Amino acid sequence: MAIQWFPGHMHSTRKAIGERIKDIDVVIELLDARLPGSSANPLLAELTGHRPTLKVLNKQDVADAARTPAWLDWYNARPDTRAIGLDASDTAPARRLIDACRQLAPQRGGMAKPMRVLICGIPNVGKSTLINTLTGKTQAKTGDEAGITKLEQRIVLDDDFYLWDTPGMLWPRITIPESGYKLAASGAVGRNAYDEEEVALALLAYLQRHYAPLLDARYRLGLDAAGIAALHDDELLTLIARKRGAVMSGGRVNLQKAAELVMTDFRSAILGRITLETPPEFEAWSAAAQVQ
């Protein structure tokens, strides 16, 4: 799928990270717990000079609770990496972040050697929400726009623990097509950068195979899992359009409207708790992309 996002985000943010990174002990990468592989920046290690990294699987309240532990294990098996799950309802995120970062850089601490942490992540992953919770106030969003990239906002989480925010950042080229669909479905990519019907079809193709009962419950399809899995993805979208009244005059279905409905239902978790990839699936997609 051709997703055209504005690479300026990346260039200006890369510059901003480059200016700060020499004084950083730990990098926090906020990931979307519904796409823990696809929402990770493949260039992060290079951008941050291979600093110890805390992967925070955010929005775990809307991810599949049966899948999140496997993703945490997957990341925790890496050297210099810790992974935790988080969501907006967490009442003590600061404590959990501080503890996890201290494990990654035990040599830092005390006023003489304060812990210096950089937080980054793709757009819409919940970074502003988390920072507002941490600071206890609504801060201006660190601009996702090219040009608004100064990392001047230092957040003091503890006497000897400082955090710097960065703008939401994607990377210039999607090498894993499945990741492109998932990033678009999650809302990380601006609406003008992709075709909604195409993304909704890809989303449905995955949900058919892995979350058919949730589709049946939401859209009252009247089919069992095998019946839903047997539908061609555009047949499924057509059926959803009819069930949800996305029909134009003359009885023709409005597939664009149905696609928007499906995406909204996924993003708002009305469909239920869903994770769009497992570690083995993501590894297989990554391997296939490298061969090409």
Does position 151 interact with ligand G4P (CB under 6 A)? The reply is no
Rg (CA), the chain: 20
- Size of interface with ligand G4P, in residues (CB under 6 A): 16
Nearer of residues 58 and 149 to ligand G4P, judged by Cβ: 58
Does position 126 interact with ligand G4P (CB under 6 A)? The reply is yes
Structural contact between residues 139 and 121, judged by C-beta atoms closer than 8 angstroms: no
Nearer of residues 93 and 239 to ligand G4P, judged by Cβ: 93
**Interface with ligand G4P (CB under 6 A), residue from 36, 85, 93, 123:** 123
Q: What pairs with residue 81 in β-bridges?
A: 53
Among 49-57, 58-66, 148-156, 237-245, the segment contacting ligand G4P (CB under 6 A)? 58-66
Does position 93 interact with ligand G4P (CB under 6 A)? The reply is no
Among 35-43, 54-62, 192-200, 210-218, the segment contacting ligand G4P (CB under 6 A)? 54-62
CB proximity list for 285: less than 8 A, separation 6 or greater: 176, 177, 178, 179, 277
Does position 153 interact with ligand G4P (CB under 6 A)? The reply is no
CA angle (52 as vertex; 22, 63 as ends), nearest 5: 125
By C-alpha distance, which of 121, 17, 101, 63 is closest to 276? 63
Q: DSSP characters for 5-61?
A: --THHHHHHHHHHHHHGGG-SEEEEEEETTSTTTTS-TTHHHHTTT--EEEEEE-TT
Does position 260 interact with ligand G4P (CB under 6 A)? The reply is no
Structural contact between residues 82 and 105, judged by C-beta atoms closer than 8 angstroms: no
Spatial distance between the Cα atoms of 26 and 105, rounded to a whole number of angstroms: 7
Token reading at 69: 């532990």
Does position 135 interact with ligand G4P (CB under 6 A)? The reply is no
**Interface with ligand G4P (CB under 6 A), residue from 87, 158, 160, 216:** 87
Among 16-24, 112-120, 123-131, 202-210, the segment contacting ligand G4P (CB under 6 A)? 123-131
By C-alpha distance, which of 88, 103, 56 is closest to 75? 56
> Residue 28 CB, nearest distance to ligand G4P (Å)?
12
Which residue number places its CB atom closest to ligand G4P? 126
Does position 36 interact with ligand G4P (CB under 6 A)? The reply is no
Q: What pairs with residue 120 in β-bridges?
A: 29
**Interface with ligand G4P (CB under 6 A), residue from 1, 61, 160, 243:** 61
Does position 149 interact with ligand G4P (CB under 6 A)? The reply is no
Among 7-15, 35-43, 116-124, 242-250, the segment contacting ligand G4P (CB under 6 A)? 116-124
**Could you give the 3-state DSSP secondary structure of residue 84?**
strand
Does position 168 interact with ligand G4P (CB under 6 A)? The reply is yes
Does position 133 interact with ligand G4P (CB under 6 A)? The reply is no
CB proximity list for 239: less than 8 A, separation 6 or greater: 219, 221, 231
CB proximity list for 139: less than 8 A, separation 6 or greater: 128, 131, 132, 153
Nearer of residues 33 and 157 to ligand G4P, judged by Cβ: 33
> Residue 173 CB, nearest distance to ligand G4P (Å)?
21
**Interface with ligand G4P (CB under 6 A), residue from 12, 41, 58, 179:** 58
Q: Which residues bind ligand G4P (CB under 6 A)?
A: 58-59, 61-62, 87-88, 121, 123-129, 141, 168
